[in-house]
C-alpha cells in the first residue's frame, strides 16, 4: 500500500458512512420523516393551545366595561409582552413556542423548521386563534366585548401605510428572534422568551396608533372569523409576511454567525437544512435519516426541526 492510496481509502470509507443522493431527495426525505414524526403533531397541538391562549389573553387585556375607561397603551403593551414571555417559555420544549405563522416562516427560512412543520403549525395556529376568540366571546360579559379584538388601522391611515407599518414591526420581531437563536452566537444573555416579549411590547408602542400592531396573521384571523368582518384582513396577512421574509433572509445572509442556512436551497450541503451546525460547507454529500426523523451524524441523533442546543439557550 502506498501513501498515495490513502486519500482514496479515506474517501471510500466516507462514502460508506454518508449516503450520496441528490439534494432534492434529501430535503424530501426530511419533509416526509418530519410529517410522520410524533414531535410534529405534539408541537402542532401545542401551537393550537398556545395561539388560542394568545387570543384569549391579548384580546382580554384590551377589554373594558361599556362606557368605562379603556386600558392605556402602556398597560396593554407590558401585559402582552410579559404574557408572551410566559407562553413561549411554557411551549419552547414542545413546539418552539412560535404561536405566530410569521415566526414559523422565519424559522423555516433559517433552517430551524421544515416546510411541512411550517404548513402544519400555521394551520393549527389559525384554528387555535379562531377557537380562542370564540371561547372569549362566550366567556366575556356582553358589555365588555367591544370589537372583540378586531384589529383595524387608525382613522386616516391608508391600507398601504398600515401594511408597511406591519411589515416594519414584524421585521423587527423575526429579525430579533432568529438573531437570538443563532447557534454560533455566544453573547446572548438572559431569557430569550423575555427578549421576544420586550420586542413585541416595543412594537406595540411604535405601531399601535398606526396599524394596531398585530404582527401575527393568526391573531388577526381569529376575531375576523368570529365577527365575520374580513374587509381589511389582508393588511394583517400581507404586511407581517413581508416583514418575516425580509427579517429572516436579511439576518441569515448578512449577519448570521453560523452557516448561511438559506444556502441549502441552491447547493447540496451534507448537513442539509437541519443537521449538525458544526459540519463544514465543503462536503457536498447528504446525510442519512433515521426512522424517527432525526439526522444521524457521527452516530448521534439531532433534532430535525431545530438545533440541538435551542432549549439550552432559553
Question: Which of 3-7, 73-77, 182-186 shows the lowest per-residue confidence on average (mean pLDDT)?
Answer: 3-7
Question: Model confidence over 43-89: pLDDT tens digits?
Answer: 999 999 999 999 999 999 988 887 778 899 999 999 999 999 999 99
Closest CA to 116 of 35, 11, 192: 35
The larger pLDDT score, comparing residue 89 to residue 300, is at 89
Question: Model confidence over 81-137: pLDDT tens digits?
Answer: 999 999 999 999 999 999 999 999 999 998 888 999 999 999 999 999 999 999 999
Across 246-250, 293-297, 304-308, which has the greatest mean pLDDT?
246-250
Please name the residue that has the C-alpha cell 407599518.
165
For residues 241 and 122, give the distance between their C-alpha atoms in angstroms, rounded to a whole number: 12
Instruction: Calculate mean pLDDT across residues 10-19.
Output: 48
| 297 DSSP β-pair partners | 300
Q: Is the pLDDT of residue 310 over 70?
A: no
C-alpha cell at 254: 448578512
pLDDT band at 20 (very low <50, low <70, confident <90, very high): low
Q: What is the pLDDT of residue 76?
A: 94
Q: What is the pLDDT of residue 149?
A: 87
As a whole number, the mean pLDDT across the chain is 81
Q: Is the pLDDT of residue 300 over 80?
A: no
Q: Is the pLDDT of residue 266 over 90?
A: no
Instruction: Calculate mean pLDDT across residues 145-156.
Output: 88
What is the sign, positive or negative, of the torsion defined by CA atoms of 177, 101, 87, 260? Answer: negative
The pTM score is: 0.78
CA-CA-CA-CA dihedral for 214, 73, 59, 232, to nearest 10: -40
For residues 64 and 87, give the distance between their C-alpha atoms in angstroms, rounded to a whole number: 23
Q: What CATH number was assigned to the domain covering residues 27-261? A: 1.20.1080.10
pLDDT band at 265 (very low <50, low <70, confident <90, very high): low
Q: Is the pLDDT of residue 284 over 70?
A: no
The larger pLDDT score, comparing residue 142 to residue 200, is at 200
Q: What is the pLDDT of residue 2?
A: 53
Q: Is the pLDDT of residue 293 over 90?
A: no
Q: What is the pLDDT of residue 96?
A: 92
pLDDT band at 259 (very low <50, low <70, confident <90, very high): low
The gap from C-alpha 7 to its chain's centroid, in whole angstroms, comes to: 43
Amino acid at each position: 500500500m502506498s501513501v498515495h492510496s490513502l486519500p482514496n481509502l479515506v474517501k471510500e470509507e466516507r462514502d460508506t458512512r454518508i449516503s450520496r443522493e441528490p439534494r432534492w431527495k434529501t430535503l424530501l426525505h426530511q419533509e416526509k420523516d418530519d410529517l410522520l414524526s410524533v414531535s410534529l403533531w405534539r408541537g402542532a397541538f401545542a401551537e393550537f393551545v398556545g395561539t388560542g391562549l394568545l387570543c384569549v389573553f391579548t384580546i382580554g387585556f384590551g377589554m373594558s366595561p361599556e362606557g368605562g375607561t379603556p386600558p392605556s397603551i402602556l398597560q396593554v403593551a407590558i401585559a402582552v409582552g410579559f404574557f408572551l414571555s410566559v407562553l413561549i417559555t411554557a411551549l419552547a420544549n414542545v413546539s418552539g413556542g412560535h404561536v405566530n405563522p410569521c415566526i414559523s416562516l422565519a424559522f423555516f427560512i433559517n433552517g430551524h423548521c421544515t416546510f411541512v412543520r411550517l404548513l402544519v403549525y400555521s394551520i393549527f395556529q389559525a384554528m387555535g386563534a379562531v377557537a380562542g376568540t370564540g371561547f372569549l366571546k362566550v366567556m366575556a360579559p356582553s358589555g365588555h366585548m367591544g370589537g372583540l379584538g378586531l384589529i383595524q388601522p387608525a382613522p386616516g391611515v391608508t391600507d398601504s401605510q398600515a401594511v408597511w407599518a406591519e411589515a416594519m414591526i414584524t421585521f423587527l420581531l423575526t429579525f430579533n428572534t432568529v438573531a437570538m437563536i443563532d447557534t454560533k452566537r455566544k453573547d446572548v444573555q438572559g431569557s430569550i422568551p423575555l427578549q421576544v416579549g420586550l420586542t413585541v411590547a416595543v412594537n406595540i408602542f411604535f405601531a399601535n396608533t398606526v396599524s394596531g400592531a398585530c404582527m401575527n396573521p393568526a391573531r388577526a384571523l381569529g376575531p375576523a372569523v368570529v365577527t365575520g368582518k374580513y374587509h381589511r384582513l389582508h393588511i394583517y396577512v400581507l404586511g407581517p409576511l413581508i416583514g418575516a421574509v425580509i427579517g429572516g433572509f436579511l439576518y441569515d445572509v448578512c449577519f448570521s454567525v453560523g452557516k448561511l442556512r438559506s444556502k441549502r436551497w441552491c447547493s447540496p450541503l451534507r448537513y442539509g437544512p437541519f443537521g449538525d451546525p458544526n459540519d463544514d460547507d465543503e462536503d457536498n454529500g447528504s446525510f442519512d435519516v433515521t426512522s424517527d426523523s432525526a439526522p444521524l451524524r457521527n452516530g448521534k441523533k439531532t433534532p430535525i426541526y431545530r438545533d440541538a442546543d435551542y432549549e439550552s439557550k432559553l
